Structure 1
């Protein structure tokens, strides 16, 4: 799934392109929504919560959707050729100037704006919530500490604990804490884990995912400490040693994770 910063960035782009504009043409290519008429409506706003997106229209309607692993939005001037096959398009929105196409969107449903919070009530504190403050950080840390024997990497990915962390940030936060992703939560400072998670996502909230940077260093190939750096020619950005890679999680929730055995202490995979 995309990281929370990718979803936030998508919402920012959609908001800039569509908010306040009248839809001259609209299609919802979903069996439950195909009869919903949006042409002539005004886009009133776009909201992201964790990895969920809400596209709002006048009359207090909101299109909820999730990008999952393969979803995404293209926003281009009218007449631009689509970048993905037409059969993957789930939402087509045209204004006087742009066309926004949502490809392979998931969990699509039309709800009232007042119902949005109900759909995301199961999530932990959103790391990119505009209202993020010390109280939200403390709540996230408490949720992270609630299962002390749980592996840190798994806990960070649990959107019910804190919303927004994906595989990249899981690996990078564990690296910055100096522990492996299999280290029990009880052995880390959960407040610091939340602070790092929020800081990294916040710094990247307006970046394209291909420009994501967790190191603060400039230069090609220097944007991350360990994630994706398991090839021999790369290695750990700090020590230069080999980066290991393994799956973490149970059954369908397994996710790839990276770590440096020199810079990070703690248990490894079974």
Structure 2
């Protein structure tokens, strides 16, 4: 765990059950997925920004964690603006590119929509520990223990993959086989990492089976996963954000149910 991760888990949101964070993210995202309009996304984004202060992230940590979202949102909007469905006055038209009043409106709505959906998910899950999430999924949601523990073990191996890749790179460089042919080097290292991962996975599966992780009996858990008032409060906040965003869009007459008949 890095220092950045340690700081991120000191806020109020960090103590809330990860299942509630997953549920709150879903409550915010589902209504925004069903519509494509700037009002609902803008209202949701404004309400979310007011709550980010309680996540326990400094401004630097916030930008470090969310910069891919800020990069993806304008790129997505640019694609819609250039190649989206044209309507209204056409400003630019060249080959397959057609920038119109309608495509610009869709681009603005898409930009806000991406931010409103992605930012709360990223900020909430920065404070999630994989073990706590596995405990919550098994004890609160009652997912199968074998599935949860297998996914947790696989997630814990992600950090080892990065260390293995770095070690393979240093080993090849020490042997003098990493100076030329970047594509060939990448393919060779990827195959070596695949073989190493299969071997490690087999050993891990055997070790977990020997310790009774696959036993067909009722499983006990070392750490109880509780779901109380703070968790219900976070879910209520997520539902309130969605409700206010939808109500604002309907009141403004911009609600656009994208799954409805055209």
Q: TM-score, normalised by structure 2?
A: 0.23
In terms of Rg, which structure is larger? Answer: 2
Greater per-residue strand proportion: 1
Greater per-residue helix proportion: 2
Q: Which one has more relative contact order, counting CA pairs under 8 Å at least 6 apart?
A: 2
Q: TM-score, normalised by structure 1?
A: 0.22
